[in-house]
A and B are shown apart, each in its own frame.
Chain A
Amino acid sequence: MKAKNIMNTTPLTIHADATFQQLVAIFSEQQIDGVCVVEGENKLVGVITLFELFGAFLPGYVGIKEELAHLIHESYFEQKCKELKHQPVRSLMRTEVITIKEEENLIGVMADISRFRLMVVPVVRGRTLVGTIARKGLLAYTGKVLLENNTQSKE
């Protein structure tokens, strides 16, 4: 099985200039945990997931010593929400993105997801986004194959 057979060819994307507030709205309304960031004619420029979204709240020193986050005062969250509200997705997204080609086999995709803890894997042709494979999509496909196996066994 190849990536092109199971990828979502009309994936949800977000523009690099969209705001943090718009990003949060998409994530919560669509119940997704990762989205590809594009510019122009579907040119992939980054990926943003819940990890980057929550990470945007954290002060730099937490990256050095994460336990310190437990000592930050309570109103910090609201204060940070105000700061982040109009920030463009471009400044928060991950730009070093692991991408795959349409011909990639399924196990290769699973290996990348497991190893790099990916939420969504962009499928590209050159720098153009042609589809995505999300964890949930892969899980649904796995379920479908298992179900077909059961049916074949009964027959």
Chain B
Amino acid sequence: MDPFWTGTLIFLISYAVIVSEKVHKTKVALIGASAMLLLKILDQKEAFHSEELGIDYNVIFLLIGMMIIIGIMKKTGVFQYVAVKSAKVAKGDPFRIMVIFSIVTAIASAFLDNVTTVLLLAPVTLLIADELDIDPIPFLITEVLASNIGGTATLIGDPPNIMIASKAKLTFMDFIVHLTPVIVIIMAVYLYTIKLIFGKKMRVKEELKRRVMEMNENEMIKDPVLLKKSLVILALTILGFVIHGYLHFEPATIALSGAALLFLISGEDPHETFLEVEWPTIFFFMGLFIIVGGVVKVGLIEKMSQMMIDLTGPTETSMFATSMVMLWFSAIASAIVDNIPFVATMNPLVLDMANTVFHAGGSTSHALPPETLHNAVLMPVWWALALGACLGGNGSAIGASANVIVVGMAERAGKPISFLKFMAYGFPIMLETLVVSMIYIWVRYYLLA
């Protein structure tokens, strides 16, 4: 068979099986990657060492580094401490707790991965709701939606951003300057929306509020010394991210250095800590990079990029239609498909499109000069992809890994959240956040530009 069709078939079958959720996504990605290698669509050197076609180790090591830091830090109980403290700051009032938990979740998700954030905060939410004798489901859903919103704000907040940053050579500060402002606006709109929905519905007796006020958050801190050490390292790592562009270090270097330093000073056992690394996720990424590398090599991505160009007509002076289509298409796709394979596919597509538009296809897509990658005309497309892929995750219960985790936890705690119940909250919120994003992109990059 023609390599084009072989590669395309492997890609399409892998995508279809991942969407069906019949087989674990990591197994699918590894089988797909093996097929690309065994059928000689890619050779091993390309898969392991090529910047254009192979595994993006910047993404892999950034994820591993952060997972190590968080894995050590979560043993200290600091996240539970913050959650209980927040509930007390809200004076046990359910709606105030909902707002403060949403804000805490969004901020935590901007710096930690979303799954870890909800994994740490959801059990405390269940406890507080139980103590207040109130339905925990609205709390859990509003938290996970806030997590997906907050994760969009920074380079390290959500895997799509890490992947986009690596391919587009964007820095942590680029995300702070371009995405954080719109996420702050989106959060404000989001909080106002949940006020309209839940503001007047949540009333509990004073004696129940007292139960929350009597909780001793200090009991949650298990290891104060480790807590101090890990907070210092996390702060240094975030500082490292802020200045990595000036220091000319890749984000993965910063994350790995932070993890190594914390290993050294914490005295934690590597065997135990490495169990905290989400290896299935890491290998899912590796497999996907190889699968996508295969379809880049056989020319499928080039064809898709040409379709995008024909559909949206990007030029050297404006990519408005491309940005808008990218935003909505990414969001709808991410509500249905995992946003990680989606972004893994879209990244080379955007690079190919940029190569066609700015260099008439003359350059190599993976080695475009910074003036092309960061061209003011192209930048809104990158931001549209990030906003669409991350915020689209709110559209359904399977749109983001954090949603799946929360739904699973709620079920385990005897408070199941149905697919439709999640969607009844998540889908309108996704539409709302996308409309805000659309206005932001239009105003900031086209109206005021």
Beta-carbon contact of A71 and B84 below 8 Å:
yes
Residues of A within 8 A of B (CB): 59-61, 63-65, 67-68, 70-73
Q: Is B130 an interface residue (CB 8 A)?
A: yes
The CA of A73 and the CA of B414, in the complex, are separated in Å by 20
- Which of under 10, 10 to 19, 20 to 34, or 35 or more describes the interface residues of B? 20 to 34
The stretch that binds A, out of B50-58, B121-129, B255-263, B357-365, is B121-129
- Cβ-closest chain A residue relative to B129: A61
The CA of A63 and the CA of B413, in the complex, are separated in Å by 8
Given A59-B126, A59-B130, also A71-B412 (CB < 8 A):
no
Shortest beta-carbon distance, B127 to chain A, in Å?
5
Shortest beta-carbon distance, B437 to chain A, in Å?
33
Which of B123, B215, B216: most chain A CB closer than 10 A? B123
Q: Is B222 an interface residue (CB 8 A)?
A: yes
How many residue-residue contacts, CB under 8 A, span A and B? Answer: 49
Shortest beta-carbon distance, B363 to chain A, in Å?
51
The CA of A72 and the CA of B219, in the complex, are separated in Å by 12
Q: Is the interface of B mostly helix, strand, loop or mixed?
A: helix
Kindly list chain B residues whose C-beta atoms are within 8 Å of the C-beta of A70.
219
Kindly list chain B residues whose C-beta atoms are within 8 Å of the C-beta of A72.
127, 130-131
Beta-carbon contact of B215 and A71 below 8 Å:
yes
Residues of B within 8 A of A (CB): 77, 80, 84, 122-124, 126-127, 130-131, 211, 214-216, 219-220, 222, 409, 412-415
Give the residue of A60, A64, A73 whose beta carbon is less than 8 angstroms from that of B211. A73
Shortest beta-carbon distance, A60 to chain B, in Å?
3
Given A60-B414, A61-B413, A73-B211, also A68-B216 (CB < 8 A):
no
Shortest beta-carbon distance, A132 to chain B, in Å?
31
- Cβ-closest chain B residue relative to A68: B127
The CA of A71 and the CA of B217, in the complex, are separated in Å by 8
Beta-carbon contact of B412 and A63 below 8 Å:
yes
Kindly list chain B residues whose C-beta atoms are within 8 Å of the C-beta of A71.
84, 127, 131, 215-216, 219-220
Shortest beta-carbon distance, A57 to chain B, in Å?
13
Given A72-B127, A72-B131, also A64-B409 (CB < 8 A):
yes
- Cβ-closest chain A residue relative to B83: A68
